[in-house]
Amino acid sequence: MRYSQSFINTLRADPKGETAANARLLIRAGYVDKLMAGSYSFLPLGWRVYQKIENIVREEMNAVGGEEILMPLLHPKEIWNETGRWNDPGVKEIMYQFKTSEGKEFGLSFTHEEVFLDIVRKNSLSYKNLPIRLYHFSTKFRNEPRAKSGLLRGREFIMKDLYSVHATQESLDEFYWQVKEAYLKAYQRMGLKEVKVVEASGGVFTSGHTHEFQVLHPVGEDTTYYCIKCDWAQNKEIYQGRVGDRCPQCSGQIESASSVEVGNIFRFGMVYSEKMNVTFKDAAGASKPLYLGSYGIGMSRCLGLLAEIFNDDKGLAWPESVAPYQIHLVSLGDTKKEAEKIYKELSDSGLEILWDDRDESAGVKLADADLIGAPFRLVVSDKTAAKNNVEVKKRSSEKTELIKSGQIVSYVSSK
């Protein structure tokens, strides 16, 4: 992509009125636009990063047998009445519910268990059709009273939600733990290397335990108690002990830290399928309620968290797997011809490259390259071009190197 033809608008200073660091950076670097607190548009750069994250999650969901669908966001009150959730005080706090001028009542989706179960029950299912594992990426609406954390807490945000139904508790359990592993792989791949699997209560969703995926980070609104020796971890909401206690699983010591919840998995069992009469026929032909599981990843929250983690005083510094472009090519002076050749060659070899072909000063272009944060920066100047060289720099390092322009592809793929 040529910078001059792309809708990238960076700011020289932080935007006003934005309290969250992730949103400040993302707005400044031209990734997102703020409509109001908790509500952001993804601009071309931001959407590229989002799509990278989405593809990683999609691959991991497909790998455990998930099938992608898309469910509606506008839900009739009736479907929510079937589980009794329409009038649940906890639900009423976060769900946008409204009446049309004709008096019909609707809600905007904050989760999709009811809609998923409604799809499932319209089919006459036998144990042979199970399990069913469907997921989608879609917008969720939540009336968040504290929408001050940028992309970490939206009134409207993107979630990946997967739902599964099973004939037995064992089958549900087996899939639940498979999803746990798939989530850890997905987080790892997008650059969230240290994710804790934390026991938590189900909130408005279930009275049983659930598992949250928490990244320790000062910006987090949750508190995780964890063992410094083993993988034991519990959310503050259910932990009975104190920092310094002995771990109930090993002899390690318990610590606590702020954390960001990037995902949550739930085993609902038969609660909702009994209420909504969602059944299957077992091997003896008897009708039985299905076991339901529900699994969410906060997609836009992950993007915001990555921005919180991967930055320095000059701007963003994306992990390669989610960077909008792998290479930011800067042409300075009278080098358009040389730069164009490199741009074509790299694009043809399958690399994603943003070429800053604008008539701007070196200072502006180099500052924008740092702000946007692609993993590699290439500079072509009159001086380097004269010797058929290119200057290469990794965003994460101060070191620059001169290499022959024909060697860029092999250089980048070897790093």
Instruction: Using CB atoms within 10 Å of the CB of residue 284, give its burial: 0 to 12 exposed, 13 to 18 middle, 19+ buried.
Output: exposed
Kindly give, in sequence order, each residue whose CB lies less than 8 Å from that of residue 111, ignoring residues fewer than 6 positions away.
Answer: 140, 161, 205, 294, 296
We find the least distance from the C-beta atom of residue 110 to ligand ATP, in angstroms, to be 8
Question: Residue 144: which of ligand ATP, Mg ion, none does it interact with, CB under 5 to 8 A by kind?
Answer: ligand ATP
Q: Which residue is nearest to ligand ATP (CB)?
A: 298
Classify strands 125-126 and 279-281 as parallel, antiparallel or unpaired: parallel
* Nearer CB in complex with ligand ATP: 161/357: 161
Report the site for Mg ion in 280-319 (rule: CB under 5 A): none
Question: What is each CA distance from 401 to 96, 163, 398, 411, 415, in whole angstroms?
Answer: 55, 49, 10, 11, 13
Question: Residue 262: which of ligand ATP, Mg ion, none does it interact with, CB under 5 to 8 A by kind?
Answer: ligand ATP
We find the least distance from the C-beta atom of residue 166 to ligand ATP, in angstroms, to be 20
* Nearer CB in complex with ligand ATP: 28/153: 153
* Nearer CB in complex with ligand ATP: 107/296: 296
Question: Residue 315: which of ligand ATP, Mg ion, none does it interact with, CB under 5 to 8 A by kind?
Answer: none
- For residues 251 and 287, give the distance between their C-alpha atoms in angstroms, rounded to a whole number: 48
Question: Residue 131: which of Mg ion, ligand ATP, none does it interact with, CB under 5 to 8 A by kind?
Answer: none
We find the least distance from the C-beta atom of residue 73 to ligand ATP, in angstroms, to be 15
Judged by CB under 5 A, the stretch of 34-42, 81-89, 260-268, 372-380 that binds Mg ion is 260-268
The region, left, alpha or beta by phi > 0 then psi within -120 to 50, assigned to residue 388 is left
Neighbour count for residue 307 (Cβ, 10 Å):
29
Judged by CB under 5 A, the stretch of 33-41, 256-264, 366-374, 383-391 that binds Mg ion is 256-264
- For residues 208 and 185, give the distance between their C-alpha atoms in angstroms, rounded to a whole number: 25
* Nearer CB in complex with Mg ion: 264/331: 264
* Nearer CB in complex with ligand ATP: 33/144: 144
Q: Where are the alpha helices (DSSP H) in 243-359?
A: 271-275, 299-309, 336-348
- The residue whose two tokens read 């830290």 is 257
* Nearer CB in complex with Mg ion: 25/292: 292
Q: Contact residues for ligand ATP (CB under 6 A)?
A: 142, 144, 153-154, 157, 159, 203, 261-264, 296, 298, 300-301
What does the angle CA 217 – CA 220 – CA 221 come to, to the nearest 5 degrees?
Answer: 155
Instruction: Using CB atoms within 10 Å of the CB of residue 101, give its burial: 0 to 12 exposed, 13 to 18 middle, 19+ buried.
Output: exposed
DSSP annotation of 246: B
Give yes or no for residue 264 binding Mg ion (CB under 5 A).
yes
We find the least distance from the C-beta atom of residue 140 to Mg ion, in angstroms, to be 12
* Nearer CB in complex with ligand ATP: 157/343: 157
We find the least distance from the C-beta atom of residue 334 to ligand ATP, in angstroms, to be 47
We find the least distance from the C-beta atom of residue 203 to Mg ion, in angstroms, to be 6
Task: Report the candidate in 289, 288, 387 with the shortest Cα–Cα distance to residue 338.
Answer: 387
Q: What residue ranges bind Mg ion (CB under 5 A)?
A: 264
